[in-house]
Structure 1
Amino acid sequence: MTLHTDWRSIPEEARGAVAALGNFDGVHRGHAHLLHALHSARPDRPLSVVTFEPHPRELFRPQDPPLRLTLPEERYQALTALGVRHVFQISFEPDFSHLGASEFVREVLHNGLGLQHVACGPDFAFGHRRGGDVALLEALLEPLGIGLTVVPPLSDVGGPLSSTRIRRLLQEGYPERAAEELGRMWSIRGIVHKGDQRGRLLGFPTANVPLGRHIEPARGVYAVTVRLSDGRIIPGVANIGRRPTFDDGQESRVEAHLFDFDEDLYGQTLQITLHTLLREERRFEGFEALKQQIMLDAVQARAVLDA
């Protein structure tokens, strides 16, 4: 897959593609359904995606908590696995956000990217203040000779699959159910920071990874697997939250203890995959009570991962 970050200077070999339009946060089964429909409509052309970075909500509502299921690197990996050849990542900055619907179609999709066919869901909105809908998109594309496939959302008994629905499952503490809708287990990716090393005093050293722009899942203790930067995958147990026993008041973070592992991870990028929520975060009366509970958590996590 090739990533293109400047829609004004697309190389000739990337022009003439077909593209799915959207944010693609999470790259879930619904997104895979959209891409499959697009490929079926135009199997003769390279499959691509037009997406935005940062997520538009990060520009318009910066005061809100982070909502990202996937950051760009993991999103690209997931799209590559679905057969996407080109990702046209458009910088969603204030100037671009003021681009009108007709300008977006003419200047970006047609002149800039040279697309031959596009696909989107029936609720796709675009242009300044989301002024364009699917009907307008079709009307603007037709004179330019660009085809359009509108793909109904993939649905189950709970309704249409969506990033919003997956976020809710994670926030409620159901990573297994979120994985069913994503088509893979959900992960948090980040750089290991140096913490206060209380984990070492407890006998359970941890790798501390800030949540950053990721959505915060339910606070608590999870059975996890951790992918190291060299590709090794290590089982472990992780706490996500604010450590109420120590009243540190810091922002939520991931503290992952890797089983049977004793190497320096500071500065490395880890991918921490959540398997099962073992218990909710809670405050303990003292150091010893917390230590005993962590020992039980580790035993339970091993049993879950072994199964």
Structure 2
Amino acid sequence: MPDTAAALFQKPHGEKHRSDTGGQDGMDDRGQKIRRVTALGFFDGLHLGHQAVIRRAVEIAAETGAAPCILTFDRRPKNVARNESAELLTDRRAKAVLAAALFPGVELIELSFDANLKSMQWQAFATEILQQKLNTVCAVSGRSFRFGQGGCGTPPMLRRILAAETVGEVHFGGRSVSSTRIRALIRNGEIEAANRLLGHPHTIVGPSVRGDGRGRQLGFATLNLDLAAGLVRPRAGVYVSAVRLKGRLYRSITNFGTRPTFYENGVFDCETHIFDFNGQSYGEEAELLLYAFIREERRFSDRDALVRQITADVETAKRFEISDGGSGKGESL
């Protein structure tokens, strides 16, 4: 196995979310190299279309006695290959969390999309990565999946080297489900529509960091989530949300924006008030699930007006029926 190919493999964020299959070169309990059915794609957002691809890989694995596997990349290939800067629905952390929740026990493997992978010929990707490194007996992808230098490899070309299946587009509302379509909905604050295409609540994962303490002064202490660079920003405003901390899901409301009541040119950030939570969250990794847009962010004339509005927002959120919708443990709140 060439060192170049071996060096491409990364451990996804949150190793605990991967199944125990012994790693990319793993052996089963009989000492034989694991045979894999590999779902291929970047899978940004793990939406309904992506889930169809992975679900088919799981089905084939069950039929053949192989192990299902999700093979993805640490960076969006189009951003690297075409020098694009498209914002993402999920970073590495959120993708690992969602994959583990939606497809428990399915191994998630991440390739480093660096200069070596960018310049790799499509035949080398199929033979060195899929066949030799992963022992792939069947690959599953969407019809638009491309691989190899310049994206010249296609699913029909892959079938020249190993067994491969393609899964057609999933349609919703008369249009295909795509990450691009979902990003536009989130930018517009249309979270409920976005979640229908995702098949789960839009999820952001990151560490809780210290804020300026204004929420606590107002009587609404907040968890301040460190937003990863490059993620799509929801429309500024207040949202019905839930937060998972240390394995437990709590109801909450979340504000995205610049806090114009206090700052003329504030930094766009994310503050979440968690209901019925009195614990310490600083430094903890939090999963933020978004459900619905309540209102736009706006400037208030004084502190009392802001407190009255936040109180009303909390009551609105409490009336909204939510569950984790497949992004966690099937909890309803």
TM-score range, shorter chain: 0.7 to 0.9
Task: Report deviation, 1:305.
Answer: 4.6
Match of 2:38 in 1: 19
| Residue 207 (structure 2) aligned to one of 153, 172, 191 | 191
Relative to structure 1, the CA distance from residue 32 to residue 286 in structure 2 (aligned partners, 3 Å threshold; closer, same or farther) is same
The residue matched to 1:12 in structure 2 has which SS? coil
Q: Which consecutive unaligned segments of at least 5 residues does structure 2 have?
A: 1-17, 323-332
Q: Are residues 1:224 and 2:241 paired? A: yes
Task: Report deviation, 1:3.
Answer: 7.5
The residue matched to 1:180 in structure 2 has which SS? helix
Q: Are residues 1:88 and 2:109 paired? A: yes
Per-residue CA distance 1:1-41 (angstroms, 9 max, x = gap):
4379986xx22336321111101122222122112333444
Report the Cα distance in structure 1 between the residues aligned to 2:85 and 2:96, rounded to whole angstroms. 25
Match of 1:76 in 2: 96
The residue matched to 1:30 in structure 2 has which SS? helix
Match of 1:114 in 2: 135
Report the Cα distance in structure 1 between the residues aligned to 2:221 and 2:82, rounded to whole angstroms. 37
Equivalent AA in structure 1 for residue 164 of structure 2:
L
Q: Are residues 1:276 and 2:292 paired? A: yes
Report the Cα distance in structure 1 between the residues aligned to 2:321 and 2:270, rounded to whole angstroms. 18
Report the Cα distance in structure 1 between the residues aligned to 2:298 and 2:180, rounded to whole angstroms. 27
Match of 1:171 in 2: 187
Q: Which moved more, 1:269-278 or 1:180-189?
A: 180-189
* TM-score, structure 2 as length reference: 0.80
* TM-score, structure 1 as length reference: 0.86
Report the Cα distance in structure 1 between the residues aligned to 2:20 and 2:44, rounded to whole angstroms. 16
Q: Are residues 1:32 and 2:51 paired? A: yes
Percent sequence identity over aligned pairs = 31
Q: Which consecutive unaligned segments of at least 5 residues does structure 1 have?
A: none
Task: Report deviation, 1:57.
Answer: 4.8
| Residue 99 (structure 1) aligned to one of 95, 112, 120 | 120
Q: Are residues 1:2 and 2:23 paired? A: no
The residue matched to 1:245 in structure 2 has which SS? coil
Report the Cα distance in structure 2 between the residues aligned to 1:65 and 1:117, rounded to whole angstroms. 30
Equivalent AA in structure 2 for residue 48 of structure 1:
C
Equivalent AA in structure 2 for residue 150 of structure 1:
T
